[in-house]
Structure 1
């Protein structure tokens, strides 16, 4: 069976992006697993996740009490990187690209998140305020599962 090459979204008309960094207590292995197999433990509404962590596979979940999120996996590097496209009402329907990189940092992980392709500075700014809270929740949930 031939597999079509992955075509990432064209972000050239949507140049707004953000970067968030955090030192996480959990290992890259644990965070990668939570990002690819346990989305319902730290981000998505429990029971709403339809996701298979394979490149070019679509996913769906709800978060925040039923808000739909859609996308597909673009790149996966076990214990090192998760990149996916991301569409929700908060991106105003724009297909954005979320890249999360994990690298060992002592007993934990240096996490670098890049979220690109926002249609405006206002949409980017709203996400820029949200991601630190989300990463903090992820860090606390990861520590609770170890």
Structure 2
């Protein structure tokens, strides 16, 4: 028996962002990308620990090299699956360190709506500790979604 899900209390962290993108990939491909295939479009290959089921945890890392730095930086990401509706909705908690959510457990909700050319993806990211953290993600998410669209529409499996 699965224990009840504990949703994060975001009441003291009101900073939220919303973005959307028309994706070429179908809802089923995108759902799988968010629940089973993070390493195909976002995470460093081999770093993903993920079952893609409600009430389970996940881990992955990204590796990014800023122009001003000589070495690539690891960015661990942790979270839990809160809600899943097959090919329609993925809701997860999202925790990163400095430069990200600053250790705050935020909530990412991905809604997938089929349309004639693919999928309208709506992403809401809520519970940031401050404007700086929200603004950094507001800048980054469109690039991440562009990468998702590129990887999953050209290499759909």
Distance 1:117 1:10 in 2: 8
Structure 2 residue ranges without an equivalent (≥5): 65-73
CA RMSD of aligned residues (A): 0.9
Give the total of aligned pairs.
145
- In the other structure, the counterpart of 1:143 is 153
1:1-146 correspondence runs (5 A): 2-65=1-64, 66-89=74-97, 90-146=100-156
Over residues 51-87 of structure 1, what are the superposed CA-to-partner deviations in whole Å (9 max), with x where a residue is unaligned? 0011110101111242111111000101000000010
Structure 1 residue ranges without an equivalent (≥5): none
Distance 1:11 1:64 in 2: 28
Q: Secondary structure in 2 aligned to 1:91?
A: coil
- Out of 63-72 and 16-25, give the one that drifted further: 63-72
Q: Give how far 1:144 is off.
A: 1.6
More helix by share: 1
- TM-score for both structures, normalised by structure 1: 0.96
Q: Which runs of 4+ in 1 moved over 4 A?
A: none
Distance 2:138 2:2 in 1: 35
- In the other structure, the counterpart of 2:68 is none
- TM-score for both structures, normalised by structure 2: 0.90
- In the other structure, the counterpart of 2:69 is none
Q: Give how far 1:3 is off.
A: 2.4
Over residues 111-143 of structure 1, what are the superposed CA-to-partner deviations in whole Å (9 max), with x where a residue is unaligned? 000000000011100100000000001000011
